[in-house]
Amino acid sequence: MIKSIGKWLARAWGQWAGAGNVFHPTDKCPECGTPLMQVNEAWRCPNLDCPAQIRARIGHWCSPGAMDIAGGDAALVALLVGQGLVRDVAELYRLRVAELAALPGRDKDSAQKFFDAITASRKCDAWRVLFGLDIPQVGAAEAKSLCRHFASVDNVFAASAERLRQAEGVSDVVARSIVHWHSDSVNRKLVRRLFKAGVNFKA
């Protein structure tokens, strides 16, 4: 029955689109109300302070592929952002066990484990920090190559696009994206705050 409905919907959609109809999503972000912008073929919210974007950036930072902070799943990240405890990744390193334990559905043991995971992440490899910052176009492979070539996160950000391209596998698009990202004073301050929090920047 479900398969039949699925086939019918797919066929109906094909006929509707084939007739020249164009799908127009809502013109505003359902989370923050900011007008959406079309990037390539996708519609995105350009508001960097949008709660959904904040959750996504923090979730990426905590993910196994980045800083590997155990317990930093979508549910906990949503709680942290929703309760106003965290608005960017640097604020994770200011959290206290008591604050975490006071969150709905949490206890002292789970709070301590997450706190310990955050503390341990300060010693992560530098490439994880670079990748965890979620800079557009910078994947794990590019982050590893850049940290091998430049030896530290600070050196990566100090380099010009031309120098960044000297790292193996780093394209012009990636290099320019890094330079553009770091040209934003908000991002530069975020990097400094992470350094002051004791996060490892050396490869």
Domains and CATH numbers, the chain: 1-47 (no CATH), 51-121 (1.10.150.20), 126-196 (1.10.150.20)
The tens digit of pLDDT for each residue in 153-185 reads 999 999 999 999 999 999 999 999 999 999 999
- Please give the span between the terminal C-alpha atoms of the chain, in angstroms, as a whole number: 56
pLDDT of residue 12: 47
H or E element in which residue 23 lies:
none
**127 neighbors 140 (Cβ within 8 angstroms):** yes
The tens digit of pLDDT for each residue in 58-84 reads 999 999 999 999 999 999 999 999 999
**63 neighbors 128 (Cβ within 8 angstroms):** no
Helices (H), 31-107: 51-62, 74-82, 97-101
Instruction: Count other C-beta atoms under 10 Å from residue 175's C-beta.
Output: 23
Please name the residue that has the structure tokens 């969150």.
103
The tens digit of pLDDT for each residue in 11-41 reads 544 554 455 555 455 688 888 888 888 776 6
Torsions phi, psi of 202, nearest 5?
Answer: -95, 135
